[in-house]
Amino acid sequence: MRLTPAERDRLLLAGAAAVARRRRERGLRLNVPETVALVADAAVEAARDGLRLAEAVEAARALLGPDDVLPGVADVVTEVRVEAVFDDSTRLVVVPDPVGGGHLGAGAPGAVLPGADETASPPAGRDVVEVEVTNTATLPVTVTSHWHFFEANPRLRFDRAAAYGRRLDVPAGSAVRFDPGAPTTVALVPIGGARVAVGFAGLVDGPLDADGAREAALERAREFGYLGAGAPDDSDGEGR
């Protein structure tokens, strides 16, 4: 059975959570890796059950309390982040205070931005590009903050070449929803760190800046019909 890196990560997480669950059932208090695995798995399973993002966050936060973990764990595990597959898209789930007992406010990490028009204008001097995005699908499409935007839903029409190696310029843990047929302009900034894209839609799966990586990714996008990459049905020619 061939699995993508993201699928292997989910199986690894499920296995670690199963171990943590058995130890908790035996009355043991959880350590840091066990706590993270159990909370992250709860969020992933909530998404699989069809819950919305905010509901998945609450389900994961409700799982453990201070008495379920070893002393000091609550001070170390102040936030858990995991990519989860929801009914409409893959989103970054950010679970704040997973064993503490705070209250999730409307503006907490994990909230979904209703549209890019609510994001602030990028300050002068930053490496920011703007692209106009049109959702040609019949359902809304949501893209999370740290998703490689180049690999976003193939039914989104935008300049894929301009989006290569970039993510949305929105707060971590938030997302932008693209409603069907409504053009939306979003700001994109370069992906930071080691600039390695693994998983996502599988169009890169390696260093973003390697020789030929951008051209090869564009070719894959065209092959699989991603709008804006110059695919045969991309009548406006974006990305050519």
For residue 73, pLDDT beyond 60: yes
Q: 32 pLDDT exceeds 90?
A: yes
pLDDT value at 114 more than 50? no
Mean pLDDT of 163-181: 88
Mean pLDDT, the chain, integer: 84
Q: What is the pLDDT of residue 43?
A: 94
Residue 104 has pLDDT above 60, yes or no: no
Question: 15-29, 95-109, 121-135, 196-210: which has the minimum mean pLDDT?
Answer: 95-109
Give the rounded percent of residues in the chain with a pLDDT score beyond 70.
85
How do 196-197 and 129-135 pair as beta strands? Answer: unpaired
Does the structure show a pLDDT above 60 at 25?
yes
Closest CA to 184 of 144, 235, 133, 218: 133
What are the pLDDT digits (tens) for 175-211?
888 889 989 999 999 999 999 998 888 899 999 999 9
The residue to which tokens 């009914």 are assigned? 87
Q: Express each pLDDT in 34-49 by its tens digit.
A: 999 999 999 999 999 9
